[in-house]
Structure 1
Amino acid sequence: MIELAKIDDIGVHAQRLVRVPKKGNKGDDDFRAPFFALGLLLAGYRWTSHAPPLHSLDDSTVSARPEDLIMPALELDLFLCRTDNFGVLLHDPESGETASIDAPEEQPILDALERRGWTLTHIFTTHHHNDHVEANLALKTRYDATIIGPDREASRIPGIDMTIGDGGDFTFAGHKVHVIGTPGHTAGHICYHLPDDRLLFAADTLFALGCGRLFEGSPADMWSSLQKLMALPDDTQVYFGHEYTLSNARFAVTVDPDNPELQARAAEIEDLRERGGFTAPTTLGLEKRTNPFLRPADPGIRAHLGMPSASDGEVFAEIRKRKDNF
């Protein structure tokens, strides 16, 4: 059963597109088919109202492909904080619970909550960097929100109420949340995976066409973390921490120049960013096909780097080194 709530001016943005949940359905073809054209228009940018839509009817490679999309029953709002941090609100319309994925900056989060008429109940912290926790205490004071964060970084997370680590689970508004430990960017970085909703909040571990810098971990740490994420279903929608995609695309084509899907995606990203659009979310399937950091086993990349016999970890480390100096 599908519920299509009020949509104001589809050509600009959709306020709500809600799937009545049927947990465990992997295919959900009965949902996708009737809204194929709508999916093309809204793919990956369903509820935000602060940027133009990601796709026109002939776009399919900037972010999620329509055939990859599983619309969650939860509502999301996507917006910018600071300069390039993504703010994401996750809202359950039945319970009224609302989570902020990290808390990069207070005012944009307050503005989004007011615009949507939502009340903040949780903050899901991914790691301790200031641009992800700056607004923790202010939001906790205002809303008495529960702050959840990585156990390995608990002493560095302002206002933390609940710690959780790799393999841990909790429930948000009746939705299972599974925590994946992803050290590399920081020693205790975690990602939040909602398996029944096909959602992954990857923060600074996995970006569209990129991955996070290694501030506290080794290339081996990050490669191991990315392999954990790659094991998730291809239709998983990935929300990441920063709008770095244009720079990532320009780098990616230097490492994987013979990948036609990457070339097409990079060109569309150039156009999208020129128009002020966002590139989140992406899908794991799209990243596996175009993100060089997930493709160290690819023979073309190996040949281009002159590393035909190296291990995947060694190729990944070389790609990360080149990106650091790009």
Structure 2
Amino acid sequence: MGQKSRIHQHLEKPLIWRDGPEGLYPFPLFWMEGKKDLEGFSGSLCLTFVKEPCQFHPVEGMLIHPYDEVLVFASANVKDMLDLGADVSIEIGEERETYTFSETQVVCIPRGTPHGPVKVSNVRKPFLHYVISLDPVYAAEQIPADALKAPVLGSQKYKDYCRVFKWVVDPVTGLRIQDKYANPEESLAVQKSNLDARGVSHPRNKGDKGPGNAENIVWLFGSEMLGFELNTLWGHYTDPGIWHRAGESHSHPTEEVLVYIGLDAEDPLNLGACCETALGEEDERYVCTTPTAYVQPKGFSHLPQITRWVDRPFGFLVIDLDSTHDSPWKDRNGSKTLYES
């Protein structure tokens, strides 16, 4: 039987591969601003692969944004989610404090904070870089390189702005130290079965997670990102099947975007899999085989998610404009959650 309606098709947004603003990146990327590309979503997103030594964000000098921003450096290595595959540094603040890392990383930049450039060296394997801006329109003041002050040696004013993109695990209990921010359906027993000692979760086929769920996943919340009104997930997915066994759909009190992205830096326009996402009370099913975002307005019912087939591992990320991830589940039986009108 054919699908009865397609009234939510405007919420399906294939990612657009193009050049970013002049002087920001020296290569093309997926560039999606909330106002014009994501149905007025109150944030913006750009994603790209880094394959060789380079300098970006910006190419020269530093930037200042009138909004909060998160720069993510995410591993595409399914066998080791924390191995970034390169050495990366970034300067933060007027003091030009330099932070260097080689593991998957989240760098939080509060509005008005000078930052950049990002410098990449010793690239052993490509990695994914994406930026979440908490504003629907890109804006930046650029500080020319010749206008920068000299670095303040020994300064560590911004040391809490950078963190490894992983959970902090209690070595005694094996649980997340901040487990009060875990999803409500995750019992401590299920969480412990999913979580490894390095702070990466492996939920596929465990507890209420189905065979299509993540091989590797990390999810950070606002309390772990300078109190930003944001929670974000990054995961590797390797197998077909439904993602969640319990409940069929849910909704949130805030806006959200779900993004499917390939992991092959040499073929960025191909997802390498076929993924199905249900939108709305009408249970409309949308299918993508290329990098695609699905916009979820406040109180909008969505899911289940099903991976139909997989040719190669792919990535998935969540951008939710709330410091927590309130997501009451329900069956598709006509009932509504407290966030649905």
TM-score of Structure 1 vs Structure 2, range by shorter chain: 0.3 to 0.5
* TM-score normalised per structure 2: 0.33
* TM-score normalised per structure 1: 0.34
Of Structure 1 and Structure 2, the greater helix share is in 1
Of Structure 1 and Structure 2, the greater strand share is in 2
Which one has a bigger Cα radius of gyration?
2
